[in-house]
Amino acid sequence: MNRSRLSTIGLGLLLAVLVAPALQADDLTGSKHFLCSAVEVTVCTLLGECTSQPPWNLNVPQFIEVDLEKNRLSTTEASGENRSTPIKNLERDGDLLFLQGVENGRAFSFVIAQQDGLASIAVARDGLSVSVFGSCTPMPKKAN
């Protein structure tokens, strides 16, 4: 191998080592309350136009509180958004947790790996789809 190819491979390995911890989340096994953060958001229209931007540019909450006891998703109090929606379907399949619902002409589906907290989220409405990749971490239960 030539020197530039070795440098490229070395740089690739270094980036992989540095990026890997950023993609890791927390173990959610047994958690009833956790916080999910949007990391990357892509919006696509019926015409095939797609854009990827930070969540705050696309009216996607940066953080979502998940309460499996109340079957509810909500924005954090600090966001000032006061948005909330019921979870209509909650299912576990092996290590995966599935959360689904429909409200205000939108359908949503979360797929969360309980072992590492990584989340894939889709929201669809007529003529528009939003996909979100994120990570989740357990949070203490709120006192009533």
Q: Can you give the pLDDT of all 144 residues of the chain as single tens digits?
A: 444 443 434 434 333 433 444 455 588 888 999 999 999 999 999 999 999 999 989 888 999 999 999 999 999 988 888 899 999 999 999 999 999 999 999 999 999 999 999 999 999 999 999 999 999 999 876 655
pLDDT of residue 30: 85
Closest CA to 123 of 93, 92, 85: 85
pLDDT of residue 24: 54
pLDDT of residue 17: 39
How many other CB atoms are there within 10 angstroms of residue 92's CB atom? 10
pLDDT of residue 26: 83
pTM beyond 0.75: yes
Q: Which residue has the tokens 């309350």?
A: 33
Q: Are 130 and 42 in contact (CB under 8 A)?
A: yes
pLDDT of residue 27: 87
The residue extents of the domains of the chain are: 25-138
pLDDT of residue 95: 94
pLDDT of residue 25: 57
pLDDT of residue 94: 93
CA–CA distances in Å: residue 123 to residues 83, 113, 133, 139: 15, 18, 12, 24
Q: Are 127 and 110 in contact (CB under 8 A)?
A: no
pLDDT of residue 21: 45
